[in-house]
Amino acid sequence: MPRTWFVTGANRGLGRAFTVAALAAGDIVVATARDPHAMSDLADERLTVLPLDVRDRDRVFATVDKAFEVTGRIDVLVNNAGYGLVGALEELTEDRIRDQMDTNFYGVLWVSQAALPHLRAQGSGHIVQISTVGAVGSLPLFGMYNASKWAMEGFSASLADEVRPFGIKVTLAQMGGFDTDWAKSSMKFAEGISAYSPVREAVLGMRDYPDMSVAPSTETSTEPTERVAENEWAEPAPEVAAAGLLQLVNDPNPPLRRIIGPGAHQMVAMALEARRQDYVSDPEFTWPAGSADS
Ligand SMILES: NC(=O)c1ccc[n+]([C@@H]2O[C@H](COP(=O)([O-])OP(=O)(O)OC[C@H]3O[C@@H](n4cnc5c(N)ncnc54)[C@H](OP(=O)(O)O)[C@@H]3O)[C@@H](O)[C@H]2O)c1
């Protein structure tokens, strides 16, 4: 039996790779995108494309209802839509902060809420929240991105325990770096305060953020953000992430947390070790008997 998927932000990057991989596996996909025309090249009788901006709660509910109407059931729901906001805390405006939370946190929340009554009725389903190693650790200038994903992980971990009795599974897919538009054209930046230039230099390799008020032009628009990407090691293609996701959804007993991406395991280990070091000097803190660190 083919599975049925629902994927947000499916027009490019990881969402597109997930969609293509699911179709290649013989599955049925309801893909959503802010601009559905951006998916016209993927025309396939097993693919339904619906318009959706995940920040719009009413549209989310209507679109999820429509998806269940079209396909009858959803086996795998992938909350993928999201972007990275870059800026030191005091550099970020209320609008920028709210938009980051509206997309990465509330967007995932609304889609999850909208799907739950349907998933409970069918007595099954796997909700996969596309998270990041940045939801285990944190990075200067990425505080609001970190916060949006940490918050999303918080409710999702509770949700996993709430819905297990209904046969519904929840997994936080903690992605490492992949070569998408995430660190390029999708990234949004604060208005810089010069005092933070050394932090920018250290973290991003640039003393100033790209100017968000300048209209994109093919000549210059990607240049500053490409510099962000250049600072990172060669990142794997989104298809590598899709292979990891397929492995995850093929697992009959998927874990709550799954790290996907080369190098990502090391980043999670380092973040957890840093946290352990914070507690280790506390004489009242002891590791549970039997754990590796007891
Ligand atoms: N790539 C990485 O290294 C990496 C690492 C960790 C986690 N992630 C996470 O992976 C997910 C996908 O990112 P990506 O790497 O594929 O980046 P991407 O290439 O920039 O794609 C982002 C997708 O999200 C969509 N999106 C953004 N805001 C939306 C909104 N309000 N409503 C609906 N769709 C919206 C975009 O749609 P438009 O085309 O309309 O903008 C696009 O389809 C994100 O949640 C990201 O945080 C990525």
Does any domain span residue 225? no
Residue nearest atom 44 in ligand 1 by C-alpha distance = 82
Number of domains in the chain: 1
Active-site residue flag, 124: no
Q: Is residue 210 part of a domain?
A: no
Residue 218 lies in a domain: no
Q: Which amino acid is at 46?
A: R
- Atom 38 of ligand 1, residue of closest alpha carbon: 34
Q: E strands along 41-187, which residues?
A: 47-51, 76-79, 85-86, 125-132, 168-175
**129 in contact with ligand 1, CB cutoff 6 A:** no
138 lines ligand 1 (CB under 6 A): no
100 CA distance to ligand 1 middle (Å): 12
CATH number at residue 250: 3.40.50.720
Please say whether the dihedral angle defined by the alpha carbons of residues 41, 46, 50 and 53, taken in this order, is positive or negative. negative
Q: Considering 83, 106, 145, 196, which one is annotated as catalytic?
A: 145
Q: Which domain holds residue 144?
A: 4-194+237-280
Indicate the DSSP class of residue 253: S
Q: Is the CB of 177 under 6 A from ligand 1?
A: yes
**Token pair of 82, please?**
């999201």
Between the CA of 15 and the centroid of ligand 1 the distance, in Å, is 7
Residue 287 is assigned to a structural domain of this protein:
no
pLDDT in tens, the chain (294 residues): 999 999 999 999 999 999 999 999 999 999 999 999 999 999 999 999 999 999 999 999 999 999 999 999 999 999 999 999 999 999 999 999 999 999 999 999 999 999 999 999 999 999 999 999 999 999 999 999 999 999 999 999 999 999 999 999 999 999 999 999 999 999 999 999 999 999 999 999 999 999 877 655 444 334 444 435 444 468 999 999 999 999 999 999 999 999 999 999 999 999 999 999 999 989 999 888 876 554
Structural domain includes residue 116:
yes
- In the chain, beta strands by DSSP E: 4-7, 28-33, 47-51, 76-79, 85-86, 125-132, 168-175, 188-189, 257-260
In a domain, 268, yes or no: yes
Q: Among the options 148, 149, 169, 196, which is catalytic? A: 149
pTM for the whole thing?
0.94
Catalytic, 145? Answer yes
Q: Is residue 29 part of a domain?
A: yes
Residues 101, 125: Cα–Cα separation, whole Å: 25
226 lies in some domain: no
